[in-house]
Amino acid sequence: MTDAHSADADGEGDAEAEADADFGAVELDFGETGRIPAIAQDADTGDVLMLAYVTPEAVERTRETGLAHYYSRSREELWQKGSTSGHVQHVREVRADCDGDALLYLVEQEGGACHTGYESCFYRTLDGEVVGEKAFDPDDVYE
């Protein structure tokens, strides 16, 4: 009995997976779905702002523009965070995890990350207690 994490140990060995992509020195494993989760973290406060999914194209666009791009599973398309709201994320650094199947975007967030108006999408505990701060009024931002 080992931890799952040690079981699929040596991440770099997953090179033969379905969808791989080379970005700089780290090989990413996009697996069968062609997308992996990306966590956006406020580079200054350390707050975890949101989790969304990225395709190789989304990562490429993020690196080219310096603005966080993700892939919408419901709309099946690339999107730039803040394209309507103006609440863009300036990406200071992108980190990969040990297995290359998750990313961490260190960002400077304009406005708030969450469409509900909170700074972070993780504004509630599982018990429903609100622990986050409001950054804006969504009625002013979305029509």
Question: Partners of 39 in the beta sheet?
Answer: 51, 104
The CB-of-135 to a second copy minimum distance in angstroms stands at: 13
Residue 27: CB atoms within 10 A of its CB come to 16
Q: How far apart are CA 15 and CA 26, in angstroms?
A: 11
The CB-of-108 to a second copy minimum distance in angstroms stands at: 16
- Residues forming the annotated binding site for Mg(2+)? 97, 99, 101
- What is the contact surface with a second copy in residues (CB under 8 A)? 1-9, 23-26, 37, 39, 41, 45-48, 50-52, 59, 63, 70, 72-75, 77, 79, 81-85, 93-99, 102-104, 114-116, 118, 121-128, 131, 142
Residue 64: CB atoms within 10 A of its CB come to 9
